[in-house]
């Protein structure tokens, strides 16, 4: 959350001349609910079920860039599925850097009521829980001030 997944996905897709698929946007379009509304109505468990189904059943173009929510790799067999079906990238950042980028929290259901100190604690906890999944990515890059050309090169070198 806050590392620039959606922004870098759009930039990378533009450079590669292919479409970008933002799974959160696709969930909103298909369900007719914002992510916050989906969480409120079905809880995190219901959202994670729907998110995983969307990941695995979406009709992806042959070449595309996919942006996912930060929790998606950590549930079910999603990370294994992504690694088997594409080139996965972890945009890594330090917790304090993420706090500084997450000042507009009202659209993010998991953090909307947290102050900066609570948010830092939350991020540190989530990274501790999630890093075993994130570190399974085929490519890990430092996302702080990441130039999309560097990201593209890392991906091309991996292919």
User: In 3D, which of 27, 23, 128, 131 has the Cα closest to residue 86?
Assistant: 23
Check whether 135 is labelled as a binding-site residue.
no
3 annotated binding-site participant: yes
Q: Is 4 annotated as a binding residue?
A: yes
7 is known to lie in a ligand binding site = yes
- Is 68 flagged in the annotation as binding? no
Residue 86 assigned to a binding site: no
Flag whether 69 is marked binding: no
- Long-range CB pairs of 143-147, under 8 A, 24+ apart, other chains included: 143/3, 143/4, 143/8, 143/91, 143/92, 143/93, 144/93, 144/94, 144/97, 146/4, 146/8, 146/91
Tell me whether residue 52 is annotated as binding. no
Which alpha helices (H) appear in 86-115, and where do they start and end? 95-101
CA-nearest of 73, 65, 62, 53 to 21 is 65
Q: 5 among the known binding-site residues?
A: yes
Annotated ligand binding at 6? The verdict is yes
Does residue 70 have a known ligand-binding role?
Answer: yes
117's tokens: 């100190």
Closest Cα to residue 91, out of 68, 75, 108, 74? 68
Annotated binding site for Mg(2+): 6
Annotated binding site: 2-7, 24, 48, 70, 108, 130
Annotated binding site for ATP: 2-7, 108
Annotated binding site for substrate: 24, 48, 70, 130
């Amino acid at each position: 959350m806050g590392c620039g997944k959606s922004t870098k996905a759009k930039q990378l897709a533009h450079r590669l001349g292919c479409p970008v698929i933002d799974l959160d946007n696709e969930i909103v379009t298909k369900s007719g609910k914002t992510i916050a509304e989906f969480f409120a109505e079905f809880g995190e468990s219901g959202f994670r079920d729907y998110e995983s189904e969307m990941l695995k059943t979406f009709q992806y173009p042959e070449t595309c860039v996919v942006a996912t929510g930060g929790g998606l790799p950590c549930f079910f067999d999603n990370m294994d599925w992504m690694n088997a079906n594409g080139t996965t990238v972890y945009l890594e950042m330090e917790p304090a850097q993420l706090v500084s980028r997450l000042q507009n929290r009202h659209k993010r259901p998991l953090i909307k009521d947290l102050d900066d100190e609570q948010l830092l604690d939350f991020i540190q906890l989530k990274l501790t829980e999630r890093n075993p999944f994130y570190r399974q990515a085929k490519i890990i890059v430092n996302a702080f001030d990441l130039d999309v050309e560097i990201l593209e090169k890392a991906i091309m070198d991996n292919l």
